[in-house]
Homo-oligomer: A and B are copies of this chain.
Amino acid sequence: MNSEAWDKNLIVDGRGLMPGLSIDPVIFGFHEGQLKILLLRFRGMDAFALPGGFVHLTEDVDEAAARVLFERTGLREIYLDQFYTFGKRDRRDAGTQQTLLLGNGVELPGEHWLLQRFVSIGYYALIDFTKANPTPDPLSDSCGWHDLANLPPLIFDHAHIVQKALEALQKNLDDKLIGFALLPETFTMAELQQLYETILGKPLQRTNFQRKLLSLGILERLEKKMSGGAHKAPYLYRFISPTTP
């Protein structure tokens, strides 16, 4: 499916979609020591949102999440994990939704399906920052990276969804060894430690961290990094196990 799915006809119609169900992916990237997420900014509104989407009747919900992710990043085959489903009765307010659509010239009657209650399935995705090509959807005028530590105001319960996604990422960092999906193919031990420290939000002791990660047998040591500096060049490493769940 291309972005036509988001055109006026579909918005007014809703046919072919699961009613009352959305997908909200929290897409993590890591760049210059900062954990970042992708947010959409809506036209005519100073509001940011997770780059969500709907579920086609012909798709598994996991497939819908992968499609939404592809539409927003241009990437396929990336790490994607369902972490929680958000179902508070009042999590969306119809007024915000109406304002958001009005900003795009779409006026809907109060009983319209888009203004009803929605339950949203949260997914988090981990992508190599350097490979993504953020793409706005037809209702938004930008799609870009924002520092997790300094997010703008988000619509609905999206700040809560982001917080739960971060907790899931923290919890699964050791269990599933998923952090590598956020790094380029090769990295230094210092870069890996910085990633872990950023996600966990606390400093780690260097010797212990290295010993632990090396003991897992998942890192291949490559040549030294030629940075041109006068100081001792660090080794580069590569992750040698699959990062998919």
Across-interface contacts of A89 in B (CB, < 8 A): 57-60, 63
What residues of B have a CB within 8 angstroms of the CB of A117 in the complex? 18, 57
Q: Which of B19, B60, B87, B121 contacts A60 (CB 8 A)?
A: B87
Flag whether A236 is at the interface (Cβ < 8 A): no
* Interface residue A20 (Cβ < 8 Å from any Cβ of B): yes
Query: Chain A interface secondary structure, helix, strand, loop or mixed?
Result: mixed
A62 within 8 A of B: yes
1/0 contact string of A53-81 vs chain B (CB within 8 Å): 00101111111000000000000000000
Measured between beta carbons, the chain B residues less than 8 angstroms from A58 are 89
Q: Is A213 an interface residue (CB 8 A)?
A: no
The minimal Cβ–Cβ distance linking A85 to chain B, given in whole angstroms, is 4
Measured CA separation A62–B89 after assembly (Å) = 10
By beta carbon, the residue of chain B nearest A116 is: B57
Q: Which residues of B contact A34 (CB under 8 A)?
A: none
> A142 interface residue, CB < 8 Å from B?
no
Residues of A near any B CB (own CB < 8 A): 18-21, 55, 57-63, 82, 84-85, 87-89, 117, 119, 121, 171, 175
* CB<8 Å pairs between A and B, sample of 5: A19-B20, A20-B20, A55-B87, A55-B119, A62-B87
